[in-house]
A and B are shown apart, each in its own frame.
Chain A
């Protein structure tokens, strides 16, 4: 008769072998983990494949916004130039009208003398003078042109947002690339069955080409704060 296999643990027998039950459980766990690990491996592979595409798309966004921004700046320059030309023409017209005034006054006197002799000509002259084309120019038209130029300038200045968002996007790309590198390392470790390498929070060194903390803040206090720092520094260094 075959002796029944002892179910005592290795420690009770004085040895180090696990029981059959615990071995069966272990095998079950490992069997369940392997498909999970395989799924993780596939996810990591997909992620490391998608991330470069995401970075490239962000880069495309930056290029597209820069191109559009430069186009807008071109249009603003042309607009400002046209407004300047119109403003000069208007000023020229006013000056010419003022110079013409003395001649018109002389003509008024001449036409007055024709009132009895040629009333038709006199009447026509009066109509012409009543029209007063120079008076049709709004008195503040030069101010309006100046305001248009100022607004065009303001639009141009606001486009600094493109540079700032480009730097923010570069920061995001950098972060994405860091994650991709770490995922790639983890994937390789998983495939090699080895221990993950010890590392700090940043896998990718900062290139210094961008400021990920760039902000689009239009209030004056930021520059005022900077000016205070400079003043204090200059005083402290007798500059």
Chain B
């Protein structure tokens, strides 16, 4: 699991750096990044990934649209998706869950919180649950 390849998607360079640094601090070194949904699709097609961490509000292609694309693409449909976003309304959370994100974090996040969510997802994926 420590070698799981993460794709971090956020239009904010600051946020990408923070998420990547946090992933490394909790033992996940294999990380690539993308600046928006469209870039993420290109990276998935060219480099692949095993776990997607994405923001919601992004230019070109939002995190929600990216999730929809991933879930609709047989090659990547089962990749775990964790959304990290400033949108904390109930309607937003439910909309994301309907798109089949595996879990959802509201910014600003904490390192222990991120680790907990990733562990939960990896455990659930390992047991076949969502």
Binding site for B on A (CB under 8 A): 66, 69-70, 73, 77, 153, 156-164, 166-167, 207-211, 213-218, 222-223, 225-226, 229-230, 233-234, 239
Residues of A within 8 A of B25 (CB): 153
Q: B15 touching A163 by the CB < 8 A rule? A: yes
> Is there a chain A Cβ closer than 8 Å to B41's Cβ?
no
User: Residue B106 contacts which of A158, A209, A223, A239 (CB distance < 8 angstroms)?
Assistant: A223
Q: A160 touching B17 by the CB < 8 A rule? A: no
Q: A157 touching B15 by the CB < 8 A rule? A: no
> Is there a chain A Cβ closer than 8 Å to B77's Cβ?
no
Q: A162 touching B129 by the CB < 8 A rule? A: no
Q: B12 touching A66 by the CB < 8 A rule? A: yes
Assuming the A-B contacts A70-B14, A226-B88, A229-B94, are A214 and B21 also in contact, with contact meaning beta carbons closer than 8 angstroms in the complex?
A: no
Q: B18 touching A211 by the CB < 8 A rule? A: no
Assuming the A-B contacts A207-B59, A230-B104, are A159 and B18 also in contact, with contact meaning beta carbons closer than 8 angstroms in the complex?
A: yes
Max count, chain A CB within 10 A of own CB: residue among B12, B85, B130: B12
Q: Please report whether the interface of chain A is mostly helix, strand, loop or mixed according to DSSP.
A: helix
The 6 A-B pairs of least Cβ separation, nearest first, read A214-B86, A160-B108, A163-B12, A163-B15, A229-B93, A211-B86
Q: B14 touching A230 by the CB < 8 A rule? A: no
Residues of A within 8 A of B130 (CB): 234, 239
Query: Bound complex: CA of A79 vs CA of B65, how far in Å?
Result: 38
Taking the nearest CB of chain B, how far is it from the CB of A92, in angstroms? 22
User: Residue A164 contacts which of B17, B94, B107 (CB distance < 8 angstroms)?
Assistant: B107
Q: B107 touching A208 by the CB < 8 A rule? A: no
Query: Bound complex: CA of A238 vs CA of B122, how far in Å?
Result: 19
Within 8 A of A (CB), among B40-77: 56-59, 62
Taking the nearest CB of chain B, how far is it from the CB of A73, in angstroms? 5
Q: A166 touching B88 by the CB < 8 A rule? A: no
